[in-house]
Each structure stands twice: as C-alpha cells, then as structure tokens.
Structure 1
Amino acid sequence: MCSQPTLNMLFQWLHACFQSCCLRTPLAYCIWKTGRVDKNHPLVSGHSAPVLDIDWCPHNDNVIASASDDTTIMVWQIPDYTPVRSITEPIVTLEGHSKRVGIITWHPTARNVLLSAGGDNVIIIWNVGTGEALFVLNDIHTDLIYNVCWNQNGSLISTTCKDKKVRIIDPRKKLVVTEKFAPHEGMRPMRAIFTREGHIFTTGFTRMSQRELGLWDPKSFDEPIVLQEMDTSNGVLLPFYDPDSSIVYLCGKGDSSIRYFEITDEPPYVHYLNTYSSKEPQRGMGFMPKRGLDVSKCEIARFYKLHERKCEPIVMTVPRKSDLFQDDLYPDTAGPEPALEAEEWATGKDAGPLLISLRDGYVPLKNRELKVTKKNILDKRALQGPRRSYSTCDSSLSRTVLEELLEEIKSLRAMVQGQEKRISELEHKLSQFTNGTS
C-alpha cells in the first residue's frame, strides 16, 4: 500500500490533470500540459487519515470517489474550472465499514453504484445517489481482501483474498458462484480480473516466489487454461485490461517496466507482445479510459506512472502511415452514459455498456452535477409504545410552531445554497481573471 504523501501527490496531480482536460478538447490533449504543480495548488482534502484508493466515475467525468484509512468513502464533485480554494466538502460521505477502506470501484454500467471493500473483510455496494448501502457482503471473506473486479455487465464480481481463494460472487444474491483455492501456490498477494469473454486472468506467485500469470475458465476452475511463470521479483503484478483489444498490461510495484499480452481464443491463449522499459521504478500506476486517448496519433493506451516526486505520462501507440481513422484499433468502446439506474440493477436487471464510436474523437459532456437524495431515517423507525407529550402547550399550537420552524429552515437552506452558487461563480470569474482569459 502506498504511503499518505505518495497518494496525496497522485490525488493532487490527477486533480490538476483533470482541470487541464476540461479546458481543452478533446480530452486526450491534457497530456501535453506538463510541468511542476504549484505547492499552493488547491487540493481535494476531507479525510482525516491517509487516502488508500481513488476511482473516477465512468459515467460522470466530474465525479471521483476516495477511500481512506479513516473508514469512510467520500464522493467529490470536481468543477470544470480550477478552484481558488481546496475542496473540503464531499458531495456525500459513505459510512459503514469498521476498519480502513482500501478498495473502491464503480459499477461499469449502472449509474451511481459504487463498491467498497475494507479491512473488516466486508464488501458494501452503495447507491451514491441516496447515500445508502444496497448490499452488504459480510460473511463471505474470512481474511483480508486483496482486490475486487466487476465483469463487463456488472452482474458478477471476482475477488482475491489472503485466504488464497479466488471467488466469483453474485453480489445481489450474496452468493459465491464458484471459487478456486490457491490458483497460485505462493503466499504473496494475488490479483484477478474478468476478461471480455468471462474468463479470469490472475497474477500471483509460485511456491518458489516466482511471479506467475494464469488464465482460468470459471465454469471449470480445476485446471488452468494457461499457467505461466514470469520472473523472480517481490513486486505484485497489477493487471490493467483493455476489453476492446483484449490486451492486458502488467505493471509490477517497484518495477521499471510494463509488459503486455494479448488474450485470444487460440493457443497459447496469452500471447506476449512487448515490454516497455524505463530507468526509474514505478510507485503506482494509473490507466486512462479508452475514450480519453488521441485517436489521431493511433494511441492505444496511456498510463500515468507515479514516481517519488512526479507523475509521468506513458503513451503507447501503433505506428501507422495513414492519417485516416483506424477502425481495427478503435472498435466502439464504452461511453459515459449508464445503461441502468441503480434501482434497476438492484432489482436484478443487467445490461452491457452503451458503446460509442471514437471516429471523430471524444468530446467531454457538459459538467453534470451529482445530486444526492437522502431518505429521512425517521421514516424507518416505528413508534415504540404509547405516544407521550412532553409539552404542556396545546398540540395544535405545537404543530403550528413546528411548521413555522420548518419553513424558516427551508428559507435558510435556500439562502445558503444561493450564497454557495454565488461564491462558486465568483471563484470561476476570479480563476479566469488570474489565468488571463478575461
């Protein structure tokens, strides 16, 4: 796990990078805006302990979720302009874990559905739109959860655990569909992800501490499709998968290289393609979604490599002589529109991602505000026993006073919201003035 300064630096850099993305079209060109971030640059800071994981929402480019050692998950709305002050108030704070939260990941096709996994060995699936937990999986894992991954339509999740098991879980039924004990015999952490065909790609260690990759069919977990030794190193291999090209990129913690493989239906099933090498080791790695790439330069992947004191973009391209759009490199990919609402998914409905073409490049959608509607917790509480009055005044008078207070609260709330909007507009104008745009 990365240290607090490292993750805070990544959070700050991603925030700065996102601002540059929003100021230029298409999204991909933010890569060319490089340099040192000012030490007084506004931050996204609200947790009382180190941030352990972050994840941009796939359906709203202005929303990011963060998980922390303080046991909470916070969801943030990032404005299109660079704010003057740090953002300290999240849109919603999700509380339900009793220990640190080290993993968060958004649902691939349903709006406002967020999964979190904590050190309490519990997985919670949230409806961010209401701030409530949809499903709590608290009796499946007996030890620390290493990673969690959704399948392509979000009907299943795969998990790896310190108990050496890979599990395929139906989260809505709270049921383990299938599991495999020790797909890699080593004791060090494993990782598992779904492929486009529904297979499971894993990374782990042999009994002799050699790094290893595997490809499995969940319908017959007994024997692997592929089990291949890699090298001897202590760094856990982190897989990043592109379902459009079926290429998986392996980035080892502490390595200075990125190896990538193509997964196919023909032997040897996992084909080695190439290795990107550099001089400095990576402390962390980020992966740009496909719609953020520059299709005019045949860019097929972009990583953000975290060093000790900087974040370096790494671009991977396929050399082509033609300037025309390359259909074979860019099949239709998952777009920003969700296929389902959270309530639909919770009741059992499934749908694949809504695809878009990248032929004309991706133009970011207009900033969409994330609205959270929390239900009144008092509505869930049944009255216990006979009602008792603690006031000597007339009940009708008490009701009148209560209504007046409620109206006054509504008025004050509207006033506060108006002031917040005015402050936001003034900050926007001030940022334009300081940037010399007006």
Structure 2
Amino acid sequence: MSRSIVRQSKFRHVFGQPAKAEQSYDDIRVSKVTWDSSFCAVNPKFLAVIVESSGGGSFLVLPLSKVGRVDKNYPLVVGHSGPVLDIDWCPHNDNILASGSEDTTAMVWQIPDHTPSRPISEPIVVLEGHSKRVGIVKWHPTARNILLSAGSDNLIIVWNVGTGEPLITMDDHPDLIYNVSWNYNGSLFCTTCKDRRLRVCDPRKREVVATNFEEPIALLELDTSNGVLLPFYDPDTSLVYLCGKGDSSVRYFEITEEPPYVHYLSTYSSKEPQRGMGFMPKRGVDVSKCEIARLYKLHERKCEPIIMTVPRKSDLFQDDLYPDTAGPDPSLEPEEWMDGRDDDPILISMRDGYVPPKSRELKVSKKNVLDSKPAPRRSLSAVDGSSLPVSSLFVCLSV
C-alpha cells in the first residue's frame, strides 16, 4: 500500500472570516468608475476609499477606529477636477497618500490624525507630467519620497515628491499599462500591458530588462468570472491572495521555491461580490489573535474587513508566523537610490505589536525656477504647504 505524502506547511490551515457587523464601515458610496484599480487603500491608521461625489475627483479617508455608519457630510479629500482612479498610502509615513486622476495629474496629500472639520482641498504637491489620465500610483518600497505614476499616455514617470520633480520617464509601452508592481527592494518594477506582455523594467537604466518569458513556472486555471483579478502578495509568509472584482471569493495560495511552486490553500467565499479590495500592511495586523492578513472588501455601500488567521492554542507570541517585517522607516534617500544603491526594507519585530507614530509632516522644497533650465513640455507644479526569506516576487494585475 502506498501512502500519500502531505506537504508540511504552517499555512495549510488559514481561515478567513468577516469582521463583526459593527466593525464594518457603512453608508460609503463606492465609486462606479469603470477602472481596474482596487478603489481602496489601507494602513495601520487609515482607510481610504474612492467614492462617488457630485463634484467628481473625491475620496474618503477614515481613521480605522471610526467604524459604523459614515455620516453623509463627513469631509472628503477633494482636489482633483476629474474622477480619482487610484490611491496608495506611503509606506514610510502613515499620514501621506498619493492619488491619480482622470484630470491627468497625481497629487500627494497630508492626512491629519484628527477628523477634519471641512473637506481637504489642498494637496502637498501636484505632479503634472502626463497628457492623459493617471490610472496608477505606486510608492517605492524602500526609498523616501519616490513615487511612480503610470498614465493612459503609456508613460511611466518616477517622481521625487519631496521636490516635486520628475526623475525618470519611460515610454517603452506601446499600449495601455494595466498595473505596476515594485520588487521587494525597489530595484526593479514589473508591468502588465494591454499588448499582453509582462515587462520587467530597470527604471534607473531606463530600459526593459526582460519581456519574452517562454513559459510560466506554474499555470493555474481559476473558476472565476471575467472580472479583473486583484492580487496581494505577502513576502513574510509567501502567500498570495487573489480577489476577483465582481467575484465574491478570495483565493489564497502559498508560493514555494520547489515545484510545483504554487500551492492552493483555500477560498474565502461570501454572498456579496466585491467592488474593490484593500490589503493591510503586516505591521497593522493583530498578532494576539494570530491574524496574518486583513483585507478590506468594498461592497456597493460599505467596506467590510476580512480577517485571515492561523488558529493556535497558545496565547504566546507565535514567532514562526511573524518574522520581522517591513517597518515605517525608509532605508534609502532619493539621491542614494538614483545613484544606483539598493537596500532591503528596514525590518521591525511584531512581538509587541505595532503602534503607529503621530503625524509626521512631509517637507516639500521647491527649487528656485531661476536656477533651473527651461521646463520641458510636460510641466510640473507644487502647491505650498505650511510644512509640509526575502522574496522579490512581482505581483501584477491581469485580465
């Protein structure tokens, strides 16, 4: 008789469950724009959701603790003249968020710790360089103040938001860019494109370093709708969570270095389809409950947290579930990164949990225009503010 060998993994039993009803965020009018982003971004302090609004170009930012019904008059972040298409929290400052819009600009915002008394309408900096809508904004994982934007003009621009300057422009894509993902240390990024090609780009060399992948190392056919897949990768656990827009399931897989490389774990299913999804950075999970991931599912009128746990009998800190994770401090300055240096994220222990620091203001220093060369055709402008183990897996969106 032969016995089947069961693969050993501490993540074979990961259970997903929705938060209690009173822990949801209700009466949120989620945007109906037909764009393929997640419409939601979350960090240990805030939940941000792109919403429908009469003036267009708005999104909602709530403190994580402000659960329950959201007042219809709650102040929005309003500054774009066209619908907001993508939002992304800065990994090095929990109060800084970037947005991209149909109005062809990207903007960077300082969100106060306190509830604002009126709409937030003044961004820290306005980044003007695209000729068509900006559908993707992505912060660099390790370098301070480095932000990538991608537009429907098929351009990718890498910015230093501390000065408001474009550092790198790449026009290597012949068609619409669907998604962009930095690798673990930010030395490269990967894109998916309407031309059905996957590209690995070296931004500092301003070139595509890989496109013609012969075969995938693993191929899985999913029984899902034709909606866009939103993938979220956790480098600490090597787990991938796949959420289909318009689908009602979250499928999760473990990635290993040995064949067959991708191992299906389980599926979290609910009755309501998701309009979008946010993914909490690891430093924001609750280690006392063996929570290894938390997703924020957008319904038509609410946002519902989904908790992923690995059940354990002991109440002690589970070292094997929580290796040191990326903390809030950058490991590189913009100039160091531009000079070719690479560094992994600065790691922190999760043993005592994570307490977000108080608001730190982003300083924007505008250079004297008289000391610079004439502006290129794609201009930029800054708005004054008072003061303003390790895996390198890329995870990109595909249709």
TM over 0.5: same fold?
yes
Matched, 1:82 2:115: yes
The CA distance in 2 between the partners of 1:11 and 1:49, in whole Å, is 12
Amino acid at match of 1:256: S
Instruction: Pick the aligned partner of 1:43 from 53, 73, 76.
Output: 76
Alignment match, 1:271: 263
Stretches of 4+ moved more than 6 A in 1? Answer: none
Q: Return the letter of the residue paired with 2:93.
A: N
Could you tell me how far apart the structure 2 residues matched to 1:127 and 1:178 are? Answer: 26
Answer yes or no: is 1:370 the counterpart of 2:354. Answer: no
RMSD value, Cα: 2.3
| 1:159 corresponding residue in structure 2 | 191
CA deviation map 1:336-375 (0-9, x unaligned)? 0000011110111110100000000001122110010011
Contact conserved, 1:63 with 1:78, CA < 8 A, in 2?
yes
Please, which of 109, 125, 130 is the counterpart of residue 163 of structure 2? Answer: 130
2:149 equivalent among 113, 116, 125: 116
2:210 to 178, 182, 185: 178
Partner of 2:247: 255
Secondary structure at the counterpart of residue 297 of structure 2: strand
Query: CA 1:275 to 1:232, structure 2 compared with 1: closer, same or farther past 3 Å?
Result: closer
Which residue of 1 is the match for residue 342 of structure 2?
350
Query: Given the two structures, how large is their TM-score scaled by the length of structure 2?
Result: 0.80
SS of 2:78's partner is coil
- The answer on 1:54 being equivalent to 2:95 is no
Q: Distance in 2 between matches of 1:238 and 1:170?
A: 24
- In the other structure, the counterpart of 1:106 is 139
Distance of aligned partners of 1:381 and 1:277 in 2 relative to their CA distance in 1, 3 Å threshold = closer
Match of 1:3 in 2: 32
Unaligned stretches of 5+ residues in structure 1: 22-29, 181-220, 383-412, 422-438
CA gap of 1:3–1:274, structure 2 versus 1, over 3 A, is same
Please name the residue that 1:222 is paired with: 214
After TM superposition, the structure 1 = structure 2 runs for residues 207-246 of structure 1, keeping only pairs within 5 Å, are 221-246=213-238
Structure 1 residues 363 and 14: alpha-carbon distance in aligned structure 2, compared to 1, 3 A threshold: farther
In structure 1, distance between residues paired with 2:105 and 2:216 = 38
Conserved? CA contact 1:284–1:305, under 8 Å:
yes
CA distance, structure 1, for counterparts of residue 273 and residue 242 of structure 2: 14
Amino acid at match of 1:143: D
Alpha-carbon distance, 1:83 to partner = 1.1
The one-letter code sitting in structure 2 at the alignment partner of 1:173 is: K
* 8 Å Cα contact 2:239-2:253 kept in structure 1: yes
* AA matched with 2:356: P
Distance 2:112 2:320 in 1: 35
Partners of 1:329 and 1:381 lie apart in 2 by 52
Cα gap change, 1:65 to 1:16, in 2 (>3 Å): closer
Partner of residue 201, structure 2: 169
How far did 1:233 drift? 2.2
Tell which structure's C-alpha radius of gyration is larger: 1
How far is the alpha carbon of 1:232 from its aligned partner? 5.0
Offset, 1:224:
2.2
Provide the residue aligned with 1:142 in structure 2: 174
Residue 185 of structure 1 corresponds to none
Give the SS at the match of 1:109.
coil
SS at match of 1:146: strand
Q: Say if 1:2 and 1:52, in contact at 8 Å, map to a contact too.
A: no
Kept in 2: contact 1:126–1:133 (CA 8 A): yes
Show the counterpart of 1:394. none
**2-structure distance, mates of 1:179, 1:266:** 23
| 1:129/1:371 contact within 8 Å kept | yes
- CA distance in 2 between counterparts of 1:222 and 1:134 reads 33
Cα shift at 1:267: 2.4
1:381 and 1:112 mapped to 2: Cα distance?
23
Structure 2 residues not aligned, in runs of 5+: 1-29, 41-47, 52-57, 375-383, 389-399
Cross-structure match for 1:194: none
* Kept in 1: contact 2:88–2:98 (CA 8 A): yes
More helix by share: 1
Q: 1:54 to 1:16 in 2, by over 3 A?
A: closer
1:297 aligns with 2:289: yes
The residue matched to 2:288 in structure 1 has which SS?
A: helix
Stretch of structure 1 that moved more, 262-271 or 286-295: 262-271
Question: How far did 1:3 drift?
Answer: 2.5
Instruction: Kindly provide the amino acid, as one letter, of the partner of residue 70 in structure 2.
Output: V
The one of 331, 335, 351 aligned to 2:327 = 335
| 3-state SS in 1 of match to 2:190 | strand
Corresponding residue of 2:44? none
Alignment of 1:190-205 (within 5 A): none
Deviation, 1:271, is 0.5
In the alignment of these two chains, the number of paired residues is: 334
Cα contact 1:3–1:50 (8 A) shared by 2:
no
